[in-house]
């Protein structure tokens, strides 16, 4: 096999491959065996018909075409390896010569990684935010814990803002009741304005057992946007009671005996969490510096693929949230043109970052073992809320194992950058990376633990929705 490489651009090459016909024997063997099982020739069992009869039965041209279709992908992969071409995506293949018994020739145009060296990546200087935990922030966390241990208590008075109520809703358009627009036993907090326009104003001042009707526009469903008369019936009024921030609460919500011990622990966990966030911020900013310091050509096809991936991801998130792209752009204060420009810029930066880390991994001979791949799968499965086995099977079935391998190698390449980076906070303090790397206890974890404890307490005591007369 003879192979030549022509550089069409810094990110695209054309391979020209010429193969003597005798080197296609394997492809013809596979083709004949496949066709022999498909055709039925009198006097021969399935799979046993000789090649000459198959040529006559299906046509020599069809046999050659099938053999070439089988051979070209293998020949292309062999040519790529021989020429050390770092191919990206699928090639555009064109058969340029096909003479039975003599020669097969084809060209393959494919995008390639840009050629460059990663230099001066050691000693990158990065500045991150200061770590500051204020008394107010600690109090906010304590109040979040109080919310988790709160209880709803029934009151015998008219409803007001901040009360929790149980209500029924029904709607009518032009006097005709809409059977599909009604709900019973709905729990709602007055003042949140998260349901129908006018509902909060109507509920204020109502007492249990009363009904009232107000005009509004329906939201969601097939009647969305229609003017309707909505009737609300109030069944109960409850207020949220929060426990006092005292030693008794500390013993209920944690393993500590005093509120000061709990406050001190929360402050410590918050500081640990902020230091971990510092390292994450340092990693992002170091990558930004690397991206900004290299001007390399990017294959349009790879950038377009990344743009489409990001667009599809956003559309999926919006769909799951019940939002439209128009409402999203309005909330972001962006025009369609600004959104597309930001999408393109982000995609180009991501593609460039990937190339830089890939090249650094090549230069430093970074690779990933089975244990590291397994750890990656376990961590990703936890984030996605699925079992590691499910994710591993999905990666295999969708041929995404190489993607996982690439992610692990890129992360290790970035580790090399961070090991040599010089990180300081805005106050000039040097950040030691090993101070936060092993941090596992975070405020979020503490809150989850407290939430579980609150649920257990609620079950054994009065319940979070208990009504006290």
Convert the pLDDT of each residue in 216-235 to its tens digit. 998 877 888 889 999 999 99
pLDDT tens track for 314-336: 999 988 888 888 889 988 999 99
Q: Give the 3-state secondary structure of the chain.
A: CEEEEEEEECCEEEEEEEEEHHHHHHHHHHHHHHHHHHCCCCCCCCCCCCHHHHHHHHCHHHHHHHHHHHHHHHHHHHHHHHCCCCEEEEEEEEEEEEECCCEEEEEEEEEECCCCCCCCCCCCEEEECCCCCCHHHHHHHHHHHHHHCCEEEECCCCCCCCCEEEEEEEEEECCEEEEEEEEEEEEEECCCCCCCCCHHHHHCCCCCCCEEEEEEECCCCCCCCCEEEEEEEEEEEEEEECCCCCHHHHHHHCCCCCHHHHHHHHHHHHHHHHHHHHHHHHHHHHHHHHHHHCCCCCCHHHHHHHHHHHHHHHHHHHHHHCCCHHHHHHHHCCCHHHHHHHHHHHHHHHHHHHHHHHHHHHHCCCCCCHHHHHHHHHHHHHHHCCCHHHHHHHHHHCCCHHHHHHHHHHHHHHHHHHHCCEEEECCCCECCHHHCCCCCCCHHHHHHHHHHHHHHHHHHCCCCCCCCC
The domains found in the chain, sorted by start residue, are: 2-112 (3.30.70.1050), 151-241 (3.10.50.40), 249-297+355-452 (no CATH)
How many other CB atoms sit within 10 Å of the CB of residue 403? Answer: 11
Most confident of the ranges 99-108, 262-271, 432-441: 262-271
pLDDT tens track for 77-95: 999 999 989 899 899 999 9
Q: Is the pLDDT of residue 120 over 90?
A: no
Lowest mean pLDDT among 21-35, 148-162, 433-447: 433-447
Q: Is the pLDDT of residue 12 over 60?
A: yes
Q: Is the pLDDT of residue 150 over 70?
A: yes
Q: Is the pLDDT of residue 45 over 70?
A: no
Lowest mean pLDDT among 26-40, 167-181, 196-210, 246-260: 26-40
Q: What percent of the chain has pLDDT over 70?
A: 90
pLDDT of residue 93: 95
How many other CB atoms sit within 10 Å of the CB of residue 89? Answer: 12
pTM for the full model?
0.71
Q: Is the pLDDT of residue 462 over 60?
A: no
pLDDT category of residue 410 using cuts at 50, 70 and 90: very high
pLDDT tens track for 389-409: 999 999 998 888 989 999 999
> What CA dihedral angle connects 247, 248, 254 and 258, to 10 degrees?
20
Average pLDDT, the chain: 87
pLDDT of residue 468: 31
């Amino acid at each position: 096999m003879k192979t030549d490489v022509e550089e069409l651009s810094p990110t695209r090459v054309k391979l020209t491959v010429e193969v003597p016909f005798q080197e296609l024997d394997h492809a013809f063997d596979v083709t004949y065996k496949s066709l022999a099982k498909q055709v039925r020739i009198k006097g021969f069992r399935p799979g046993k018909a000789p090649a000459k009869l198959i040529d006559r039965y299906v046509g020599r041209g069809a046999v050659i075409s099938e053999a070439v279709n089988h051979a070209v992908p293998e020949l292309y992969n062999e040519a790529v390896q021989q020429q050390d071409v770092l191919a990206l995506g699928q090639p555009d293949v064109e058969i340029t010569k096909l003479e039975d018994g003599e020669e097969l020739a084809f060209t393959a145009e494919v995008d390639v990684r840009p050629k460059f060296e990663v230099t001066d990546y050691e000693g990158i200087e990065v500045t991150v935010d200061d770590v500051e935990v204020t008394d107010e922030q600690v109090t906010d966390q304590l109040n979040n814990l109080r919310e988790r241990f709160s209880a709803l208590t029934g009151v015998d008075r008219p409803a007001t803002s901040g009360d929790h109520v149980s209500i029924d809703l029904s709607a009518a358009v032009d006097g005709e009741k809409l059977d599909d627009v009604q709900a019973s036993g709905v729990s709602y907090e007055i003042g949140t304005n998260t349901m129908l326009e006018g509902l909060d104003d109507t509920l204020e001042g109502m007492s249990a057992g009363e009904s009232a009707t107000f005009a509004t526009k329906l939201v969601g469903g097939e009647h969305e946007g229609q003017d309707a008369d909505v009737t609300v019936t109030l069944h109960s009024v409850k207020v949220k009671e929060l426990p006092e921030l005292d030693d008794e609460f500390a013993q209920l919500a944690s393993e500590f005996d005093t509120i000061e011990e709990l406050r001190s622990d929360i402050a410590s966990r918050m500081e640990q969490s902020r230091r971990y966030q510092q390292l994450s911020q340092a990693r992002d900013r170091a990558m930004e510096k690397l991206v900004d310091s290299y001007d390399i050509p990017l294959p349009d096809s790879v950038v377009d693929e990344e743009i489409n991936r990001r667009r599809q991801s956003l559309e999926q998130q919006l769909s799951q949230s019940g939002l439209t792209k128009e409402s999203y752009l309005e909330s972001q204060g962006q025009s369609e043109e600004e959104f597309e420009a930001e999408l393109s810029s982000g995609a180009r930066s991501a593609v460039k970052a990937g190339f830089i880390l890939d090249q650094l991994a090549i230069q430093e001979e970074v690779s990933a073992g089975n244990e590291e791949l397994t750890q990656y799968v376990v961590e990703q499965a936890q984030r996605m809320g699925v079992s590691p086995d499910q994710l591993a099977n999905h990666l295999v079935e969708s041929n995404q194992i190489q993607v996982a391998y690439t992610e692990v190698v890129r992360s290790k390449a970035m580790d090399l950058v961070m090991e040599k980076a010089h990180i300081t906070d805005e106050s000039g303090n040097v950040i030691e990376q090993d101070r936060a790397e092993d941090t596992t206890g975070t405020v979020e974890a503490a809150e989850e633990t407290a939430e579980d404890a609150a649920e257990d307490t609620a079950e054994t005591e009065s319940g979070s929705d208990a009504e006290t007369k």
